[in-house]
Amino acid sequence: MTDDKALYPPVDPILTGIRGHCPRCGQGQLFEGFLKLRPACSNCELDYRFADSGDGPVVFVILIVGFIVVGAALWMEVNVNPPLWLHFLLWIPLATILSLALTRMLKGVLINLQYRNSARPGEIDRG
Please give the torsion angle defined by the CA atoms of residues 35, 38, 41 and 47, in that order, rounded to the nearest 10 degrees.
120
Return the SS3 of 25.
Answer: coil
Residue 3: its pLDDT value, please?
55
Neighbours of 53 (CB within 10 A): 19
pTM of the model: 0.82
Residues 88, 91, 94, 97, CA torsion sign: negative
Report pLDDT for 54: 84
Domain extents for the chain? Answer: 13-116
Residue type at 112?
A: N
Altogether, the residues listed in the chain come to a count of 127
Angle between helix 84-116 and helix 56-79 axes, rounded to 10 deg: 150
**Do residues 115 and 10 lie in contact, with contact meaning Cβ atoms separated by under 8 Å?**
no
Q: Which tens digit of pLDDT belongs to each residue from 74-90?
A: 999 999 999 999 999 99
